[in-house]
């Protein structure tokens, strides 16, 4: 009779340990992403289908060692409606910012909000216009000087919803 509670406690401890280690695994294995300037007020209007060629998720070039850029990216997530996103925090030359990569095959224009949470408690937020049937796109916050000596990491969250919608269709976060 005493074995069932012990077994349940061991199973719960295993799940908690796995959940705690998963972000660490993502942080060490996250892709290194190039810096690409983006006009966040412009909509992507390319109507090519998602399957017409390589996606931004598949073709990210590797950075040269001399570029000294770091990135901490969360997993690529997908919604049943046809929306994909991956969100990263990026640091380069003393600046830090957030970027989210997305693909919208829903057929509806969407709106995103990308938030960079700084270790000093401040946030930087950007609104992103996502055109209907945008096979690849990205949105980023402005670059700001990196908070030096912070004990907490930078984190980013992107929420994508229908225009005027209250509930996000997809929420994507950076690793950490």
Q: What pTM was computed for the model?
A: 0.62
**CB contact set of 13 (below 8 Å; sequence gap of 6+):** none
For residue 121, what are the contacts with CB-CB under 8 A and spacing of at least 6? none
pLDDT in tens, 132-167: 887 889 999 999 999 887 778 999 999 999 887 778
Cα distance between residue 10 and residue 138, in whole Å: 42
Cα 65 to chain centroid distance, Å, stands at 23
Compute the distance between CA of residue 107 and CA of residue 90 in angstroms, rounded to an integer. 30
Q: What is the pLDDT of residues 164-176, one digit of tens each?
A: 777 889 999 998 6
Q: In CATH, which of 3.40.190, 1.20.140, 1.20.950, 2.60.40 is domain 31-173?
A: 2.60.40
């Amino acid at each position: 009779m005493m074995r069932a509670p012990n077994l349940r406690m061991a199973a719960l401890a295993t799940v908690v340990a796995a959940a705690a280690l998963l972000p660490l695994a993502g942080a060490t294995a996250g892709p290194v992403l190039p810096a690409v300037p983006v006009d966040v007020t412009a909509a992507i209007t390319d109507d090519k289908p998602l399957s017409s060629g390589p996606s931004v998720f598949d073709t990210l070039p590797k950075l040269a060692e001399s570029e000294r850029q770091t990135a901490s990216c969360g997993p690529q997530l997908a919604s049943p409606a046809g929306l994909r996103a991956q969100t990263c925090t990026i640091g380069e030359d003393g600046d830090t910012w957030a970027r989210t990569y997305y693909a919208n095959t829903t057929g509806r224009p969407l709106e995103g909000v990308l938030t960079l949470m700084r270790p000093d408690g401040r946030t930087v937020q950007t609104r992103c216009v996502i055109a209907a049937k945008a096979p690849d796109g990205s949105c980023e916050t402005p670059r700001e000087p990196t908070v030096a000596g912070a004990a907490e990491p930078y984190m980013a969250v992107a929420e994508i919803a229908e225009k005027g919608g209250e509930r996000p269709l997809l929420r994507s976060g950076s690793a950490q």
